[in-house]
Structure 1
């Protein structure tokens, strides 16, 4: 059957779902280009499918690639990925893709906390008009927690601390920071580590205080530094011994 005749027999949503299912089950297939080309088949040359005008296609091509400056993976644009899959093997693939996306996005945006009941850019794709359910959000974040890449901050699982670097990795970054700034036996305030000129351009700049305190405590247990209290949280100090 000719492809143009085949397109007359499929609705646009059917094509999107079919391609999404194919990529979900065969992740090595990159069907983004095919997706866009098929959608073009529903434009002016096809009088029975006017629901996808050329402006709509151009919008899809522009917006499905990035979220701000963050490049989105292909799977983000297919509806099946926003619904928890019932088949175990398929769901495991889906969870793995979402775990990687959440970590990559949070690292690129320096996002440390996700509030599950609040709006979060990754959890909605306005182009395909799909959003993750509360169950899906909790499932993907819980998978990160089980791998030590996140922690629930409350018993109700409403807020999640994202560890795109594990605590040990943050501790290593702190040691390197001290060496780079000649602080092997020096003193610096915790606030200077988070927002001082020495941390500008480093991963420590703007670090979540909970994560920083955990990394400092780990290094203190190893005898690499001493944390001493000040008159306020702004002048709490750290003396490195490395």
Structure 2
């Protein structure tokens, strides 16, 4: 099974890549971009994106990695400007759809054309709270409550291949599991000063 991006017809429409001067139209344009990004990241299990828009697509059969820049359409030779890309990230951050790789807020400049962000960050097609609910549900469904389960088992076990969180990077999983700890539902365990497992009650 080869993974392909599901790009809508509007992706071939040159004005999509040009920052519209009218603010109302531009907001709808940004909404369209966010929908394209989130839909394809979820469909292809793309967890990270660079500030320039590079996404790594992994073929589940061959494990071959293809890099695709969502903001550059080679077929019509159109690209989004840095300032427009910045506005898309700003909106996604405001809506809780981006997360720095260390879990802290992204540093996105609102006054400069230059992107003042980390080089790469997580894309959240589900909020951290929704991910936490899903993983808690998994613990309950699979009778894993009151057992020590490693992060690796949660996101890399073949038993979880059909789970939406399968292949999730462990640092992102850690940010999600912290929510269960805050709710009083879990305790995380360390090994060599690094959190590697969790016990959910």
TM-score for the superposition, normalised by structure 2:
0.78
Q: Equivalent residue for 2:90?
A: 142
1:152 is displaced (CA, Å) by: 4.7
Structure 1: unaligned runs, 5 residues or longer = 1-67
Distance 2:14 2:121 in 1: 25
Q: Is the 8 A contact 2:38 2:125 kept in 1?
A: yes
> What CA deviation, in whole Å up to 9, does each residue of 1:15-44 have, x standing for no partner?
xxxxxxxxxxxxxxxxxxxxxxxxxxxxxx
Matches within 5 A, 1:112-131: 112-117=47-52, 119=54, 120-131=68-79
Distance 2:100 2:193 in 1: 27
Q: Which runs of 4+ in 1 moved over 4 A?
A: none
Q: Which has the higher strand share?
A: 2
Q: Is the 8 A contact 1:141 1:160 kept in 2?
A: no
Q: Equivalent residue for 1:181?
A: 142
* Residues paired across the two proteins, number: 173
Q: Equivalent residue for 1:90?
A: 25
Distance 1:166 1:117 in 2: 22
Q: CA RMSD in A?
A: 1.9
Q: Which has the higher contact order (CA 8 A, sep 6+)?
A: 2
Q: Is the 8 A contact 2:53 2:71 kept in 1?
A: no
1:230 is displaced (CA, Å) by: 2.0
1:213 is displaced (CA, Å) by: 0.8
> What CA deviation, in whole Å up to 9, does each residue of 1:185-240 have, x standing for no partner?
2221111112113322211211122321111111011111111112475x822111
Q: Which has the higher helix share?
A: 1
Matches within 5 A, 1:1-242: 69-117=4-52, 119=54, 120-152=68-100, 155=107, 156-157=116-117, 158-231=119-192, 233=194, 236-241=196-201
Distance 2:177 2:95 in 1: 22
Distance 2:25 2:160 in 1: 42
1:72 is displaced (CA, Å) by: 1.5
Distance 1:94 1:152 in 2: 24
Larger Rg: 1
> What CA deviation, in whole Å up to 9, does each residue of 1:94-137 have, x standing for no partner?
01101111111111121222112364432111111111122222
Structure 2: unaligned runs, 5 residues or longer = 55-67, 108-115
